[in-house]
C-alpha cells in the first residue's frame, strides 16, 4: 500500500500527526482534510513543507500557536 505518514513541524519540532494517510484534500484557508487507509480523518492547518513519497513522508509546517 502506498500510503504516507503525515508529520507536522512547529517551531522546528517534528511530530507524527497521522499515519497511513491515503487521501489529502484541501479545504481552503490553509486547512487540509487527511484520511487514513483505516478511515481515520483529521484536519490539519498549515502548509506542505515537503513530500517524499518513496519514504512515505509528508511534512506540514504550521505557525499555529496552539
Spell out the residues 6+ positions from residue 10 whose beta carbon is closer than 8 angstroms to its own. Answer: 61, 62, 63, 64
Q: Binding residue for a second copy (CB under 8 A) from 18, 21, 44, 46?
A: 21
Kindly write out the interface string for residues 44-63 of this chain, putting x where it contacts a second copy by CB under 8 A and - elsewhere.
---xxxxxxxx-x-------
User: Segment near a second copy (CB under 8 A), from 9-17, 18-26, 38-46?
Assistant: 18-26
29: left (phi over 0), alpha (psi -120 to 50) or beta: left
Positions in the binding site for a second copy (CB under 8 A)? 1-4, 21-26, 37, 47-54, 56
Amino acid at each position: 500500500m502506498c500510503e504516507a505518514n503525515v508529520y507536522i513541524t512547529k517551531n522546528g519540532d517534528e511530530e507524527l500527526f497521522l499515519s497511513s494517510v491515503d487521501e489529502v484534500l484541501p479545504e481552503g484557508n490553509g486547512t487540509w482534510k487527511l484520511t487514513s487507509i483505516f478511515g481515520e480523518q483529521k484536519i490539519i492547518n498549515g502548509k506542505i513543507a515537503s513530500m517524499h513519497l518513496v519514504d512515505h513522508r509528508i511534512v506540514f509546517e504550521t505557525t499555529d500557536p496552539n
